[in-house]
Amino acid sequence: MLKLFAGATLAALVGIGAAVASPIDAYGRLPAMSDVSISANGADIAYIANEGGAATVVAMGLDGTVLQSANLGPRKVRAVSWVDGTHVMIQVSTTVGIANIAYVGEWYQALSLNVKTGAMVQLPSGSEQSVLNVMMDTPHGGTLEGKPVIWASLYAKEAQSWQDDGHLDFYRMDPETGMARKQQMGDAETKEFLAKSDGTVLARVKYRAKDGAWRLELRHGGWEQAYSEIAPIDQPDLVGRSLDEKSVILTLWDEKNDRWRLAPFALADGKQGEFFGPDKPFGTITDEERRLVGLSYTDVYTEYDFFEPRLKAIWPQVRQVFAGRQVSLTSNTPDYAKLIVYVEGTGEPGGYYLVDLGAKKVKRIGAAYPALTSADIATVKAIKYKAADGLEISGYLTLPNGRAPKGLPLIVMPHGGPQSRDTAGFDWWAQALASRGYAVLQANFRGSSGYGHAFIEAAYGEWGAKMQTDLSDGVRYLAQQGVVDPKRVCIAGASYGGYAALAGITLDKGVYRCAVAVAGVSDMAQMLAKESSQSGPDSTAVRYWKRYMGVERSSDPKLRERSPVNFADKADGPVLLIHGKDDTVVYYDQSVAMRRALEKAKKPVEFVTLKAEDHWLSREGTRQQMLSETVAFLEKHNPPN
């Protein structure tokens, strides 16, 4: 049996670090290294380096020789990938509006870097047709007639209107010049294309928002419909192709088994095959050719179940090398001879490793948070408890190092989404709070993903109700266990978690001493009305929010009853509001309205504006500002000692 060994590299993972916690700014830094990608020949890597708020894309050989380094300054660099041995594709995003086309949003663009010459071009730099130079899906590399190309869906703009006169087309772009040429024309209802790396278009997805009509069409000379359904909210997902390349794979709702499963549709005739997949929530893993190579499952950590024979054979040994930690596959050579994995968890704040199957070695490439040591990483425990109505809630408890788990001060930190979830991997915010002496509870309240459809359905209409008390039920559980002091509890969260923080201090009385809301919703009716005006009352997003809020219109009295802005006079503790001026998900005015309401009620409130910051705390300086302000506020109103 092939055995991997890591030599001295793993010793660093279990070394003894300093007894004193690192400065709080060390936790708030952007990853020093992220999104490591390996070239097809396995000789080079590319990655994003962040230092002092400036992003640099680095291409280097595995021997450490730097091939090229491109400083993009304060631009928000989101991803890098190899197109061929000469070109690296860079994805960036900008918070901007598109005149006469779209409201202010986070728009993605792409660049091509020649690692031999250092030349960099915009994608697209030009086109025979009039198109926006924003990426409408994830661009990917390929070849056409033996030459490297980049494939992407672009929005063709024929008039000054986003909704009526434009459509999505599939383009090829030259990585050297940036010039784009149309490969396949779409129409106003086209939302996605599926193509091979040589540009052969196999399928497309069409969607009509007005009635929720979703359909899959296969390309057989013309377009032929293979599947359709009315899906106003929960839509099928076009995963990709089967490993044998004979089918297109969708994620569909299996009514017989009452769960989401995978369904193949034969490329030859469009016929649907038998459902397959597990009887539990799962994610899908595809390769560079968008072939389904495996599934993922999350319990404490995310685990993989690979279909691809080579990955299936080797992955258990990779997991064994990094036992007890989260291991994620981030990149690989086409023959899977070399893998790039990201490791985080107990004793590891995040590091990238090269798994070389030919040499039977594991080599550490670099650290995401080099200023943090293993001693700076607190233990994360998986916990379960019962909500008041008996529903089992899972979550994670981060315990501060060097303190007995008894009578601890607690910070409840609900996630955003709300249809998202927390995991046991390295969480920079939770770890930062634990380093100051707090226990941190991250509860996956009802409506969180990863626990099945019934668990999500249990949240419908429970925004501000049982979704909220699921959190305070966790506080009561930990207090009963003696782990935390129920008189020393605050709540801090971002996005939906920010709403939960505000609701906790105003609606769920007597639980929290203070609240920190980062980009939090305070006025549900105003949020829903604004979303409806911008994306339309029939949009999937508006339907999604209405389902969780349990309303049909933004004038429903329930929204007022569950909006913290209307109950500022009930706040039973001080509130810290933090919001980015460039937030296009939860608008800045949500926090402005809450500040005014608290001030009018003569309740203690602090307000921090993050300049040029988006919803995701993408900039290092403002992320550190948010963290330092949060810690100072918590230490003042809920001292850890």
Determine phi and psi for 281, rounding to 5 degrees. Answer: -60, 140
Decide which of 534, 562, 590 is a domain's last residue: 562
Residue 299: per-residue pLDDT: 85
**The predicted structure's pLDDT at residue 427:** 94
Tokens found for residue 476: 């009561």
Residue 76 identity: K
Average pLDDT over residues 473-486: 98
Same domain, 471 and 583: yes
Cis peptide before 124 (omega within 30 of 0): yes
**Cα→Cα distances 136→132, 151, 499, 639, Å:** 9, 11, 30, 47
* Tokens standing for residue 417: 């989404």
Euclidean distance between the first and the last CA atom of the chain, given in angstroms as a whole number: 52
> How does DSSP assign 165-187, residue by residue?
S-EEEEEEE-TTT-EEEEEE---
Within a domain: residue 263? no
Shared domain check, 514 and 414 = yes
pLDDT digits (tens, 9 = 90+) for 323-351: 989 999 999 999 999 999 999 987 889 99
Name all contacts of 198-205 with Cβ < 8 Å and 24+ positions apart.
198/142, 198/143, 198/144, 199/142, 199/144, 199/149, 199/151, 199/172, 201/170, 202/241, 202/248, 202/267, 203/238, 203/248, 205/238
| Domain span holding position 534 | 524-562
What single-letter DSSP state applies at residue 30? P
What is the tens place of the pLDDT at every residue in 420-479? 999 998 999 999 999 999 999 999 999 999 999 999 999 999 999 999 999 999 999 999
Say if 17 falls within a structural domain: no
Q: Which residues of 35-54 are buried (b: 16+ CB within 10 A; e: fewer)?
A: bbbbbbebebbbbbbbeeee
**Contacting residues for 539 by C-beta, under 8 A, at least 6 apart:** 209, 531, 532
Q: Does 189 map to a domain?
A: no
Residue 462, token pair as written in the block: 């429970």
Percent of the chain with pLDDT over 90: 85
- Residues 607, 481 share a domain: yes
* Domain co-membership, 391 together with 417: yes
- E-strand spans in 495-553? 515-518
Q: What is the CATH number of the domain that holds 589?
A: 3.40.50.1820
Q: Are 87 and 110 in contact (CB under 8 A)?
A: no
pLDDT at position 160: 53
Among the ranges given (14-28, 168-182, 604-618), the one the predictor scored with the smallest mean pLDDT: 14-28
**Residue 386 sits in the same domain as residue 493:** yes
For residues 396 and 512, state if they share a domain. yes
CA distance 574 to 492: 12
Q: Average of pLDDT values for 277-281?
A: 91
Residue 568 lies inside a defined structural domain of this protein: yes
Report yes or no on 134 lying in a domain: no
Whole-prediction pTM: 0.92
Residue 66, beta-bridge partner list = 60
Q: What integer pLDDT is reported at residue 300 of this predicted model?
A: 85
Write out 452-496 in H/E/C secondary structure.
CHHHHHCCCCCCCCHHHHHHHHHHHHHHHCCCEEEEEEEEEEECH
d(CA 50, CA 35): 11
Say what the pLDDT of residue 10 is. 30
Q: Tell me, yes or no, whether 534 and 605 share the same domain.
A: no
Both 516 and 625 in a single domain? Answer: yes
Token output for 361: 């070695």
What is the predicted pLDDT for the residue at 153?
95
User: Are residues 603 and 462 part of one domain?
Assistant: yes
Write out the DSSP string of 318-362: HHHHTTTEEEEEEEE-TTSSEEEEEEEETTEEEEEEEEETTTTEE
Instruction: Give me the pLDDT at residue 346, please.
Output: 77
Q: In the structure encoding, which two tokens stand for residue 528, read together?
A: 């829903």
Query: Across residues 565-594, what is the average pLDDT?
Result: 97
> Considering its fold, how many domains does the chain have in total?
2
Residue 34 in any domain: the answer is no
In a domain, 495, yes or no: yes
The set of residues, in sequence order, having a beta carbon less than 8 Å from that of 212 and lying 6+ positions away, is 230, 231, 232, 233, 538, 540
- % of residues, the chain, pLDDT over 70: 96
Closest CA to 591 of 508, 515, 533: 515
Q: How much of the chain is in helix, strand and coil states, percent to nearest 5?
A: 20, 40, 40
Residue 162 has pLDDT above 60, yes or no: no
Write the pLDDT tens digit of every residue in 84-140.
Answer: 999 999 999 999 888 777 888 899 999 999 999 999 999 999 988 888 889 999 999
Place of tokens 């009526």: 164
Which of 532, 562, 592 is the last residue in one of the domains?
562
* Cβ neighbours, 10 Å, residue 585: 15
Q: How many helices (H) and strands (E) does the chain have?
A: 11, 35
> Hey, what are 436's tokens?
């100051």
180, pLDDT greater than 60? yes
545 & 404 share domain: no
- Give the span between the Cα atoms of 476 and 88, in whole angstroms: 52
Last residue of a domain, one of 562, 582, 614: 562
| Predicted local distance difference test score (pLDDT) of residue 272 | 97
Residues 558 and 545 in one domain: yes
534 & 593 share domain: no
Q: Is residue 551 part of a domain?
A: yes
Please check whether residue 22 is in contact with residue 377, taking contact to mean a CB–CB distance below 8 angstroms: no
The pLDDT score that the predictor gives to residue 6 is: 37
> 130 is written with which tokens?
């009039």
